[in-house]
Homo-oligomer: A and B are copies of this chain.
Amino acid sequence: MTVKDLFGGMEGGGTKFVCAVGTGPDDLREEIRFATTAPDETLAQAVAFFKKHNVAAIGLAPFGPLDLDPASPRYGSITATPKPGWSEANILAAFRRAFDIPLAFDLDVNAAAIGEYIFIPANRGLDSLVYFTIGTGIGAGVIANGKIVHGLTHPEAGHIRLPHDLAKDPFPGNCPFHGDCFEGLANGPALEARWGQSGDSLPDNHPAWELEAGYIAAALANVILTISPRRIILGGGIMERRFLFPLIRAQVKELLNSYVASPVFAGELDDFIVPPALGKRSGVLGALAMAKILAKE
């Protein structure tokens, strides 16, 4: 790798794809966004974009769930998704046919965690963090011991079960797999189904938000107790309502009830539960970081 090498990053969401070329957040040469349509058409657009540039490696970070097991015949594909046409779409194979360069492959939210970890010096000094996306879907990427966490598959922390007080919130949850898991209670469609209007149109003082912050706080408290991360980053469409941050921080403190003996919990958690430092580019920049890391290996 030489200093001049350029890298590509692709964040493939269920609604839109973002592709970028450059070396990092301060050196993005070109970026495009386009709607997620059928797999062939969408992937062809991404391939055409990267073909225009002389990139040393590309990081691919589509929505999941993904088959991340290099020993699996389906490695590189999206597995079971309700999104029409995309089940079994093999993203990595499509790129392998088009490019003879190193290709990194991981989940979109893992890329976002990697982007925040690699490109933000204040995060890089930590050895652990969690990046949650909270929007139409909910998911989390986990960094522990300085690397993204994979295992049997990848984390799917949007689907953990939380206490659900049916007297306070009779909404049964909308997850097709788990009903009232975290995502089923707190994603964008749940907000809309519960209150009869989209989250975007709910005013800041609507009771929806205290409930929403409560579910997010309950999930965060469980994640804190399970892996004790040094920072939690909350991205995704719902978290653009920034007034949610102090509500969530206060409820996390209440739930942990001084049990976690870290000086961090004596404060207001302003540096512990934070918005993404890379804004909406955590994912695409993380994909680019994946390409850089792979090229160096």
User: Which residues of A does B touch, CB under 8 Å?
Assistant: 65, 67, 69, 79-80, 127-128, 140, 142, 144-147, 149-164, 177-178, 218, 221-230, 255, 257-262, 264-265, 272
User: Nearest-CB distance from A266 to chain B (Å)?
Assistant: 12
Q: Which of B69, B151, B257, B258 contacts A227 (CB 8 A)?
A: B151
Q: Which residues of B contact A128 (CB under 8 A)?
A: 149-151
Known A221-B161, A222-B160, A226-B222; judge A178-B257 contact (CB<8 A): yes
Q: Given the complex, which residues of B lie within 8 Å of A147, measured CB to CB? A: 145
21 contacts between A and B (CB under 8 A): A67-B261, A144-B149, A145-B146, A145-B147, A151-B228, A153-B261, A154-B228, A155-B226, A155-B227, A156-B260, A158-B225, A160-B221, A160-B222, A161-B163, A161-B221, A162-B163, A163-B163, A177-B259, A178-B257, A226-B226, A226-B227
- With A69-B262, A149-B228, A152-B272 given, name 19 new contacts (CB 8 A): A67-B261, A80-B261, A128-B151, A142-B227, A144-B144, A144-B227, A145-B146, A152-B264, A153-B262, A154-B228, A155-B228, A160-B221, A161-B162, A161-B163, A161-B255, A177-B257, A178-B255, A222-B222, A226-B226
Which of the listed residues A146, A224, A258, A265 has the most CB atoms from chain B within 10 Å of its own CB? A224
Give the residues in chain B near A221, CB-CB below 8 Å: 160-161
Specify the main secondary structure of chain A where it touches its partner: loop
Q: Smallest distance from the beta carbon of A142 to chain B beta carbons, Å?
A: 6
